């Protein structure tokens, strides 16, 4: 549905613009994209869009809770459509591919530290590092 994106934008009180719809569409179904890749996809159907607009849109959508932003060490920031379901990530140490994992144990936020050291915690983020299937079967670097 083409208006699906417009709906979601309105629902969080954001103005409906072509770049915003295009960014939402670009991230649909596909897992984890960096700003540059989103930019390329958006350009495909909306060639006047600038990279800065994409950064602005990604920031707005992340702020509004429509997107989640993750920043695995060694990769540029990645954006994904799954939000609010407290899933976590697997990152390949070789090719930096990212996959989703569902919540590791129990209820969100999944974990409580033994001692919070005076902090008021609101989020727990878990990143698993390892080799993905295709990198494991390739000759070692």
For DNA, the binding residues (CB under 7 A) are: 9-10, 14-20, 34-36, 48-53, 55-57, 59-60, 71, 76-77
* DSSP H/E element including 7: helix 4-11
Task: Return the residue of 7, 28, 125, 138 that touches its own copies, per CB under 8 A.
Answer: 125
At its nearest, how many Å lie between its own copies and the CB of residue 2? 32
At its nearest, how many Å lie between its own copies and the CB of residue 125? 5
101 in contact with its own copies (CB under 8 A)? yes
Determine how many CB atoms are found less than 10 A away from the CB of residue 27.
23
Residue closer to DNA by CB (options 48, 107) is 48
The interface with its own copies within residues 43-82 (CB under 8 A) comprises 69-71, 73-74, 77
Residue 126 interacts, among its own copies, DNA, none and using kind-specific CB cut-offs from 5 to 8 Å, with: its own copies
Residue-wise DSSP of 60-116:
HHHHTTSSEEE--TTS--EEES--SS--EEEEETTT--EEEE--SSSSTT----S--
132 in contact with its own copies (CB under 8 A)? yes
40 in contact with its own copies (CB under 8 A)? no
Query: How far is residue 35's CA from residue 104's CA, in Å, rounded to a whole number?
Result: 28
Which residue bears the tokens 């958006």?
42
| Residue 73 tokens, joined | 């060490």
């Amino acid at each position: 549905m083409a208006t699906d994106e417009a709906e979601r934008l309105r629902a969080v009180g954001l103005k409906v613009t072509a770049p915003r719809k295009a960014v939402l569409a670009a991230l649909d179904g596909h897992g984890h994209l960096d700003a540059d890749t989103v930019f390329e996809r958006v350009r495909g159907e909306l060639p006047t869009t600038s990279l800065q607009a994409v950064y602005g849109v990604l920031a707005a959508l992340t702020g509004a809770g429509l997107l989640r932003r993750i920043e695995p060490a060694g990769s540029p920031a990645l954006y994904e459509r799954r939000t609010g379901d407290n899933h976590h990530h697997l990152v390949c140490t070789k090719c930096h591919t990212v996959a989703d994992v569902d919540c590791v144990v129990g209820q969100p936020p999944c974990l409580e530290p033994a001692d919070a050291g005076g902090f008021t915690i609101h989020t727990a983020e878990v990143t698993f590092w390892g080799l993905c299937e295709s990198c494991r079967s390739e000759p070692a670097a």
